[in-house]
With several copies, the nearest count.
Chain A
Amino acid sequence: MYSDKVIDHFTNPRNVGEIEGANGVGQVGNAKCGDIMRISLVVEEDIIKDIKFKTFGCGAAVATSSMVTEMVKGKTLEEALKVTNSTVAEALGGLPETKLHCSNLAADAVHDAIKNYLEKTKV
Chain B
Amino acid sequence: MKRIYLDHSATTPVDPQVAELMMKYFVDYYGNPSSVHYYGREVRKALDEARTQVATLIGANPAEIAFTSGGTEADNLAIQGAAKAKLKKGNHLITSAIEHHAVLDTCKHLGKNGYELTILPVDEEGIISVDELKKAIRPETILVSIMHANNEVGSIQPIEEIGKITKQQDILFHVDAVQSLGKCSIDVKAMNIDLLTISSHKIYGPKGVGALYIRKGVRVSPLMFGGAQERKIRSGTENAPGIIGFGKACELAGQRMESERAHLTSLRDKLIDGIMSKIDNVKLNGPSGSKRLVNNVNVSINFIEGESLLLSLDMIGVAASSGSACTSGSLDPSHVLLAMGLSHEVAHGSLRLSLGMQNTDEDIDYVLEELPKIVDRLRAMSPLYTKTSC
Give A residues with C-beta under 8 Å from B: 1-2, 7, 10-11, 13, 16, 27, 31-38, 54-59, 61-62, 98-99, 102-103
Contacts and interface: CB of A to CB of B under 8 A. Distances in A.
Given A32-B344, A34-B326, A103-B326, A56 B41 contact: no
Contacts of B383: 27, 36-38, 54-56
Contacts of B390: none
A36 B384 contact: yes
A12 B307 CA distance: 16
Contact of B311 (A10, A102, A103): A10
B325 A34 contact: yes
Nearest to B329: A98
B308 A10 contact: yes
A66 to B, nearest CB: 9
Interface in B375-389: 380-384
A2 B307 CA distance: 12
Contact of A1 (B44, B315, B344, B384): B44
A33 to B, nearest CB: 7
A40 to B, nearest CB: 10
Contacts of A35: 305
Contacts of A56: 303-305, 381-384
Contacts of A33: 325, 331, 344
A55 B41 contact: no
Given A11-B315, A34-B333, A102-B331, A58 B308 contact: yes
A7 B315 CA distance: 10
A81 B253 CA distance: 54
Contacts of B382: 54-56
Nearest to B307: A58
Nearest to B325: A34
Contacts of B331: 33, 102
